[in-house]
Amino acid sequence: MSFRRMDVMARKEVVQILRDPRSLAIVILMPAILVLLFGYGVSLDLKGMPVFVYDQEGSQQSRDLVERFKASKYFHVAGHVDNYTALKRAIDDGHAQMGLVIPWNFSQRLQGGGAQQVQAIVDATDDNSANILIGYAQGVVQGYSSEVQIDWLRTRGIAAQTAGLNVETRTWYNEELDSSAFIIPGVLALVMSVIGAFLTSLTIAREWERGTMEQLISTPVSAAEIMLGKLAPYFTLGLLDTAISACVAIYWFRVPFRGSFVTLFVSSAMFLIVVLSLGFFISVLAKSQFAASQIALIVTFLPAFLLSGFLFSIEQMPTVLQWITHLIPARYYVSVLKKIFLKGTATSLLYADLVPLAVFTVLLALLATRSFHKRLD
């Protein structure tokens, strides 16, 4: 194997990248766009959800309850209505995510010490958000109810009994419960999937479409030298884009990084070899840039987005899909990213993810090597 011939192939690929403004734009802009898009545009936090209030009584107690909702960061009292029709219209139009109905005898039942209920009408078109919203509403109402009960007992000279069991919560690793800290580390896997598989899927297919494959075959350059020379520039660009994405996550979005940069580099290099090899293999089989790019997106970007645990918890997936995720290399890389970013997990405790990732690295590198031959099919 000649490193000089590999260097010539790498230089040729760099020239091709510089001549193709679309590929260059993807390499330069895609990492920043993806990180900013997911950092600002995607949030699993429900804050400031619009609520319309139908207060049938209008007493001091009912206004106090509404003030509790106003004080909560999860709700925004966007308006008041005076009938069910207007409340229904506000929810139907999307102006309210929840309607709060306070009955006409609210304060009377509270002052009498009886049980009282308020009605929460929730837009459940997004069932996950609806469940979270219901939990938040119950928390606000229960907190207000406890204070009302204590005041009622004190006015009658009865000592309030405190509960014997309480839950004291402490949040580790993501103390602010900020969803961006959960999402942004996984964006690195998406960036590398796009840069790696998408661009390398065009390398050999481009040679076939332009009729230059015959020239490559006639040269003394071996198949391994062609593959390594073509992939080397994308490997360098992939690591550079990973570094840029990591810096944006750490210094712009303030995502905590508690692990080892060496572990980040090694795991990123392994995953990059995986996606580069897969993209090269697709390029050899497709022989068409359009077909290769579409296949690359289907087999790399979509699994990394849907089945890696990037956004959706693997434990909550059906059992069949949970087994399928073991065949997705991005699953292990995303797990490593979240552990070294948020938990600061030691490298010695990451073998459950690093070993499968290393296995995929070797297997796909061998697959790419054996798939390309210097011959006209």
Q: In sequence order, what are the beta bridge partners of 54?
A: 81, 101
Instruction: Judge if 75 and 188 occupy the same domain.
Output: no
Give the pLDDT mean for 340-345: 92
| Residues contacting residue 358 through CB under 8 Å, at least 6 positions apart | 270
- One domain for residues 243 and 149: no
Q: Are 10 and 232 in contact (CB under 8 A)?
A: yes
Amino acid sitting at position 177: L
**171, pLDDT greater than 70:** yes
State the alpha helices, DSSP H only, in the chain. Answer: 3-19, 21-41, 60-71, 84-92, 106-111, 127-155, 179-192, 199-200, 203-210, 213-218, 223-247, 261-286, 289-296, 302-306, 319-324, 329-338, 351-371
The verdict on 27 and 67 lying in the same domain is no
Q: Each residue of 236-259: pLDDT tens digit?
A: 888 888 888 899 999 988 899 999
- Residue 217 confidence (pLDDT) above 60: yes
User: Do 305 and 219 share a structural domain?
Assistant: yes
Residue with tokens 């995720």: 325
Q: Do 34 and 73 fall into the same domain?
A: no
Name residue 231's amino acid. Answer: L
**What mean pLDDT comes out for the span 358-365?**
94
**Would you state the pLDDT for residue 199?**
75
The answer to the question of residue 162 being in a domain is: no
Domain match, 143 and 13 both? no
User: pLDDT-derived band of residue 90, with 50, 70 and 90 as boundaries?
Assistant: very high
Token pair, residue 329, equals: 């290399």
| pLDDT value at residue 169 | 78
pLDDT attached to residue 322: 93
In this predicted structure, the answer to whether residue 132 has a pLDDT above a threshold of 60 is: yes
pLDDT at 156: 60
Residue type, 79: G
Are the beta carbons of 207 and 284 closer than 8 angstroms?
Answer: no
Q: Do 197 and 275 contact (CB within 8 A), yes or no?
A: yes
Is the residue at 360 inside a domain?
yes
CA distance 284 to 48: 51
49-55 and 119-122 strand pairing = unpaired
Regarding predicted confidence, which is higher, 26 or 66? 66
211 plus 302 within the same structural domain = yes
| Residue 160 falls inside a structural domain | no
Structurally, the chain folds into a number of domains equal to: 2
Determine, yes or no, domain membership for 68.
Answer: yes
Global pTM reads: 0.81
Asked if residue 89 is part of any domain, the answer here is yes
Residue 182 has pLDDT above 80, yes or no: yes
What pLDDT score was predicted for residue 1? 63
Q: What's the CA gap between 238 and 333, in Å, rounded?
A: 15
By CB neighbour count within 10 A (0-12 exposed, 13-18 middle, 19+ buried), where does 371 fall? middle
Q: Is 282 exposed, middle or buried (0-12, 13-18, 19+ CB in 10 A)?
A: buried
Flag whether pLDDT at 163 surpasses 60.
Answer: no
pLDDT at position 164 is 55
Mean pLDDT, rounded, for 167-191: 84
| pLDDT of 32 strictly over 90 | no
Judge if 55 and 115 occupy the same domain. Answer: yes
Contacts of 87 (CB under 8 A, 6+ apart): 52, 54, 81, 96, 99, 101, 121
pLDDT of residue 10: 80
Does one domain contain both 56 and 15?
no
Residue type, 169: T
Which residues have CB under 8 Å from 167's CB, separation 6+?
Answer: none
The 3-class secondary structure across 110-122, one letter per residue, is: HHCCCCCCCEEEE
Percent of the chain with pLDDT over 90: 29
Q: How far is CA 251 from the centre of its chain?
A: 19
d(CA 356, CA 331): 10
Q: Is residue 25 part of a domain?
A: yes
Asked if 35 and 64 sit in the same domain, the reply is: no
Residue 377 lies in a domain: no
At 79, which CATH number?
3.40.1710.10
What does 226-259 look like in DSSP terms, one character per residue?
HHHHHHHHHHHHHHHHHHHHHHIIIIIS-----S
Query: Could you list the residue range(s) of the whole structural domain that residue 117 is in?
Result: 49-155
pLDDT tens digits, residue range 311-332? 888 988 899 999 999 999 999 9
The mean-pLDDT minimum among 115-119, 136-140, 147-151, 196-200 falls in 147-151
> Of 86-100, 113-127, 213-227, 327-341, which range is least confident?
213-227
pLDDT tens digits, 274-294: 999 998 888 888 877 778 878
What rounded mean pLDDT belongs to the chain? Answer: 84
Average pLDDT over residues 259-281: 92
- What is the spatial distance between Cα 133 and Cα 125, in angstroms, rounded to a whole number? 12
Query: Are both 99 and 7 inside the same structural domain?
Result: no
Residues 37 and 54 in one domain: no
